Chains A and B, each alone.
Chain A
Amino acid sequence: MAGIERLVETAKLDFGPLERSATSDEPVFLHYDDGFDALIVMSVPPTTDTTVHYLTDQVAVLYDQRLKVVGIQVEDFVARFLPEHKDLKRVWDRSYNSKDVGELVSTADRVKPQVAKELIRLAEPMMEAA
Chain B
Amino acid sequence: MGYLIECQDPRGLNVVLVAEVWRDKIVGSRPRMANGWLDRLERAIRRPSYGIYGSAHHPKRACYYLRIEGENRYLKVVVDFRGSRGKVISAFPCDSMSPGEKLIWPESKD
User: Are A and B genuine complex partners?
Assistant: yes
Contact (Cβ within 8 A) B31 A47: yes
- B59 lies within 8 A of chain A by Cβ: no
Residue interface mask A68-97, B partner, CB < 8 A = 1: 000001011000100000000000000000
Contact (Cβ within 8 A) B32 A33: no
Residue interface mask A49-68, B partner, CB < 8 A = 1: 11111101100100000000
Q: Which of B30, B72, B76, B95 has the most CB of A within 10 A?
A: B95
B58-110 interface (Cβ within 8 A of A) = 65, 72-74, 76, 78, 80, 89-90, 92-101, 103, 107
Residues of B near A2 (CB, < 8 A) are 103
Q: Which of B31, B53, B65 has the most CB of A within 10 A?
A: B31
Chain B binding site: helix, strand, loop or mixed by DSSP? mixed
**Taking A31-B29, A33-B25, A33-B29 as contacts, is the C-beta distance between A76 and B57 under 8 angstroms?**
yes
Residues of A near B96 (CB, < 8 A) are 4-8, 53-54
- A40 lies within 8 A of chain B by Cβ: yes
Q: Which of B24, B32, B90, B95 contacts A7 (CB 8 A)?
A: B95
- A27 lies within 8 A of chain B by Cβ: no
Count residues of A near B (Cβ-Cβ below 8 Å). 32
Residue of B nearest to A38 (CB): B90
Contact (Cβ within 8 A) A104 B28: yes
Residue of B nearest to A35 (CB): B89
Q: List 17 A-B contacts (CB under 8 A).
A: A1-B107, A3-B103, A4-B74, A4-B97, A5-B96, A7-B72, A7-B95, A31-B28, A31-B29, A36-B90, A40-B29, A46-B30, A51-B95, A53-B96, A54-B98, A73-B92, A76-B57
Residue positions of A touching B, CB distance < 8 A:
1-8, 31, 33, 35-36, 38, 40, 46-54, 56-57, 60, 73, 75-76, 80, 102, 104
